[in-house]
């Protein structure tokens, strides 16, 4: 049964590694973590525990930081999905608040927004068209 666990571990890690860039240390830790989970489900042995993320000082992003925020999408560093906005995704899928997400990956909120540039500009234009940000608030309807 141990060989089955190794085969499943290989399939899972290869699938994940094909979608994200991992450092050698991250790859080893992922192999150990996946193997340990599968082994514990099977009742088998456990490999040496992976290095704790908190001990290292937070997770390391699996992609280059310059590729996180693009004109038409933002990449979620937790799962690698490309989305227009991350706030709802982080809360619903990963159970994270923006502050926790930024702390986990040691990111600066000013440099790495949770909304893509295109979407941000569109919302800004809509707000300006409605009169937000001007003295006096919204445009009043004429009677």
**Domain range summary for the chain, segments of one domain joined by +:** 1-51, 59-117
Quote the tokens at residue 93.
Answer: 């899928």
Nearest Cα residue to 101 out of 56, 58, 52: 58
* Fold observed for domain 59-117: Arc Repressor Mutant, subunit A (1.10.10)
Instruction: Kindly report the number of other CB atoms within 10 A of residue 45's CB atom.
Output: 11
In angstroms, what is the C-alpha Rg of the chain?
21
Q: What is the pLDDT along the chain (143 residues), one digit of tens a residue?
A: 577 888 888 888 888 887 777 788 888 888 888 888 887 776 655 555 544 444 344 666 667 777 888 889 999 888 888 999 998 899 888 888 999 988 888 888 888 899 998 998 999 999 989 888 777 655 556 55
Nearest partner of 35 among 23, 25, 48, 17, judged by Cα: 48
Q: Which two tokens stand for residue 90?
A: 């982080």
Q: 46: alpha, beta or left, given left = phi > 0 and alpha = psi -120 to 50?
A: beta
């Amino acid at each position: 049964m141990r060989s089955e666990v190794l085969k499943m571990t290989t399939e899972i890690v290869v699938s994940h590694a094909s979608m994200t860039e991992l450092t050698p240390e991250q790859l080893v830790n992922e192999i150990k973590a996946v193997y340990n989970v599968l082994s514990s489900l099977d009742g088998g042995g456990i490999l040496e525990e992976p290095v704790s993320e908190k001990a290292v000082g937070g997770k390391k992003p699996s992609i280059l930081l310059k590729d996180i925020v693009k004109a038409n999408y933002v990449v979620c560093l937790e799962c690698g999905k490309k989305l227009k906005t991350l706030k709802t995704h982080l809360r619903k899928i990963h159970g994270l608040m923006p502050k926790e997400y930024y702390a986990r990956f040691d990111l600066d909120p000013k440099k790495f927004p949770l909304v893509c540039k295109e979407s941000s500009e569109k919302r800004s234009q809509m707000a300006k068209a409605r009169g937000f940000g001007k003295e006096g608030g919204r445009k009043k309807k004429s009677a």
